Structure 1
Amino acid sequence: MEKTCLVLLLCFILMPITQGVEFGPKAVEKWFKKLPHAKQKVTKFHFYFHDIVSGKNPSAVPIIQSTSPIFFGYVAMIDDPLTVGLEPDSTIVGRAQGIYGGADQNEVALLMTLNFVFTTGKYNGSTLSVLGRNPARHKYREMPIVGGSGIFRLAKGIATAKTSWLNSTGAVVEYNVIVLHYDI
C-alpha cells in the first residue's frame, strides 16, 4: 500500500515537469508575465476521431434522444479516442471529450463543444477547445479552435473535419487541425 501511494505521489509531482508546462495559479501568472516577449508558433495535427454510438463500449452516449430525421434536439456526451490512423486499433494520441447536439431544423448540423485532450508525447496533458457548427453531411467542415490549456494556453485555430466512414455503430472522422499558440 505504501509503495502504491509513493508511486502515485511521484506521478503527481513529476507530471507537470514531464508535460513541459507548469500548472497552478502561480505558474499561470508567471507564464502571463513572459507573454509580451513570446513568439507565436503554428502547430499542425492530423488524427482520426472514433465516435462509437452502439455496441459493447460506446464512446458517445445519448443524453437526449430525438425523433427528428435530421437529429434536431439530439444531445450526446462523448469521450472518443483520437488515433494516428483510420483503424480503431491504431495508436491513440488523445481523446475528444465533450458534448454535441443537433442544432439545425433544416439539415444534420451539430453544435460541437469539446476538448481534444492529448495523452502522449510533448503535448501530453494539454488540450485544444473546439466550439462550433458541424454540418455533418458536408464533405469538409470547419470548426474554430477557441482556446486551450497547457502548451496551448490562449490558442486559436481551425479544425477541419471530413467523415471517413459512417454506419449504424458510429463514425470515423478525419481531422486536420492548425493552431496558433505561444512558444514560451
Structure 2
Amino acid sequence: MALIFIPRRAAAISFSLFLISALVASDPVLSPEKLGIRRREKLSHLHFYFHDIVSGRNPTAVFVVPPPSNASRTLFGSVVMTDDPLTERPEIGSKLLGRAQGFYAGASQTEIGFLMVMNFAFVEGKYNGSYLSILGRNTVFSAVREMPVVGGGGLFRFARGYAQAKTHAVNISSGDAVVEYNVYVFHY
C-alpha cells in the first residue's frame, strides 16, 4: 500500500519543482505594453461631495462596531461601514456621480481621527465602472484633511495621488455630514 503513495508524492514534488523553475525562468520585468497599457500617464482632478448619513430610516453609514462603553468622546474603537452617495453638488438631490463604499474606524484616543478605507466607485460619465481606493487618516475637525489614493480599477488602474476632504456641512444632533472632496490622481 505504501508503494501507491510514493509515486503520487514524487509526482507532486516533480510538478511543484517544474512550476517553481518556470516562474524563476520567466521574465520578471514587466512593461506597460505587456500589460496592454498603450496610453501616457495623465493627472486628473475630480471634485464631488460625500454624504455621510448616519440618521433616519435609510442611513448610508452604519456602526458595525460601536465604541466601547468606556471610550472617550473621540469614538475610539468604533467601526462604521459606508455606502455613501457622491454627488456633483452639496445638495443630496444633485446628480449622483458614485458611491463611497468601505469603512472608517475611530483610531485616535485624543481627537476624532478615523482610519479611512474607501473605494470611490463611479457610476456616471467617462469614469462609470471605475473606482479609486483611499487609505489614510481623517482628523474630521481639521479644516482640510489629506488622504492617499493607493490604487484603483477600470480607468484608474495603477492610480496614485491624494484626496483632500473639507467639511461642507455637519448636523451635530444627527451626525450627518457633507464633505467636499478634491481628488488629484495620476492614471493611464
Q: TM over 0.5: same fold? A: yes
Q: Deviations for 1:153-180, whole angstroms, at most 9, x for unmatched residues?
A: 0100110000011112410000000000
**Aligned-residue offset at 1:38:** 3.6
Q: Deviations for 1:70-118, whole angstroms, at most 9, x for unmatched residues?
A: 1101101000000000001011000000010100111110000010000
Q: Deviations for 1:32-51, whole angstroms, at most 9, x for unmatched residues?
A: 62567541101111100000
Aligned twin of 2:147: 143
Instruction: Please say if 1:180 is aligned against 2:172.
Output: no
**Aligned-residue offset at 1:68:** 2.4
The structure carrying a bigger strand percent of its residues is 1
Instruction: Please say if 1:93 is aligned against 2:97.
Output: yes
Aligned twin of 2:177: 171
Letter paired with 2:56? G
Instruction: Please say if 1:127 is aligned against 2:131.
Output: yes
Aligned twin of 1:50: 51
- Measured on the aligned residues, the alpha-carbon RMSD in Å equals 1.9
| Structure 2 unmatched runs, 5+ | 1-29
| Structure 1 unmatched runs, 5+ | 1-28
Q: Which has the higher contact order (CA 8 A, sep 6+)?
A: 1
Letter paired with 1:174? E
Q: Which moved more, 1:169-178 or 1:36-45?
A: 36-45
Aligned twin of 1:39: 40
Count of aligned positions? 154
Tell me which of 70, 75, 79 is aligned to 1:75. Answer: 79
Aligned twin of 2:22: none
> After TM superposition, what 4+ stretches of structure 1 lie above 3 angstroms from structure 2?
34-38
Q: Percent identity?
A: 54
Paired residue secondary structure (1:163): strand
Q: TM-score, normalization: structure 1? A: 0.79
Equivalent-residue separation in structure 2 for 1:33 and 1:165 (angstroms) = 46
**Residues 55 and 169 of structure 1 are in contact (CA less than 8 Å); yes or no, is this contact kept in structure 2?**
no
Larger radius of gyration: 2
